[in-house]
Chain A
Amino acid sequence: DIQMTQSPSSLSASVGDRVTITCRASQGIRDKLNWYQERPGKAPKRLIYDASRLQSGVPSRFSGSGSGTEFTLTVSSLQPEDFATYYCLQHSAYPYTFGQGTKLEIK
């Protein structure tokens, strides 16, 4: 299985901050990586697919980059509704695998 190592596991930041979350794959996955936002009691929401493509309807302050084994999700200016948990998912090879998650908290 491809292991996805996500860092940091938690992050404290303030409204307006720029934050970056990283996912590393145990082997190359081309650009087959998605980013999700998860809020308690709600279904996960895909923000970015195929490493850098912004899901329709997602604010442009979210962006993704990377290829191969290293990927980043950046939020350019945090808004109050962005405080949530974020996950990466590789969909290059079965079984697909999620990162462990990054909990983004208000400082």
Chain B
Amino acid sequence: QAQLLQSGAEVKEPGASVKVSCTPSGYTFTTYLLQWVRQAPGQGLEWMGIINPNGGSTNYAPKFQGRFSLTADPPTSTVYMQLSSLRSEDTAVYYCATKGDVEFWGQGTLVTVSS
């Protein structure tokens, strides 16, 4: 059964960077685009960006331009989300999800930004 497995929870200080991984299994790595969505405590869903694992092309929401990046590593079939210059408002659960007629989601990764 196809699924997305994300790395574990992170606690970071303000100004630091975080890197979250998303590893698909049960399907060919390059089959689906992978998008990232976050949800801050008590807030709505926020779309962050998307990557094509086949070639690595990306598109980011303007709000995150400059401190957000997505990369794909085909040898390990893993996609990475990196967010830098963290602030308290970045405390959220971060999800990766496929885009297409078939859509499934990772389990989410809680990133807590606190001094």
Contact = CB atoms under 8 A, between A and B. Distances in A.
Interface of A: 1, 36, 38, 43-46, 49, 55, 87, 89, 91, 94-101
Q: What are the 9 tightest A-B residue pairs by CB atom distance, in nearest-first order?
A: A43-B105, A95-B61, A94-B59, A96-B47, A101-B44, A98-B45, A46-B103, A87-B45, A100-B44
A87 B105 CA distance: 15
A95 B65 CA distance: 11
A89 B45 CA distance: 9
Interface band, chain B: 20 to 34
Majority SS of interface residues in chain B? Answer: strand
A21 to B, nearest CB: 14
Contacts of A98: 37, 44-47
Given A1-B62, A95-B59, A43 B106 contact: yes
Nearest to A90: B47
Contacts, number: 48
A8 to B, nearest CB: 14
Contacts of B50: 94, 96
B101 A49 contact: yes
A76 to B, nearest CB: 23
B80 interface: no
Contacts of B97: 43-44
B47 A97 contact: yes
A93 B59 CA distance: 10
Interface string B31-53: 00001010100001111011000
Contacts of B106: 43
B29 interface: no
B62 A44 contact: no
Which of A1, A38, A44, A89 has the most CB atoms of chain B within a 10 A radius of its CB? A44
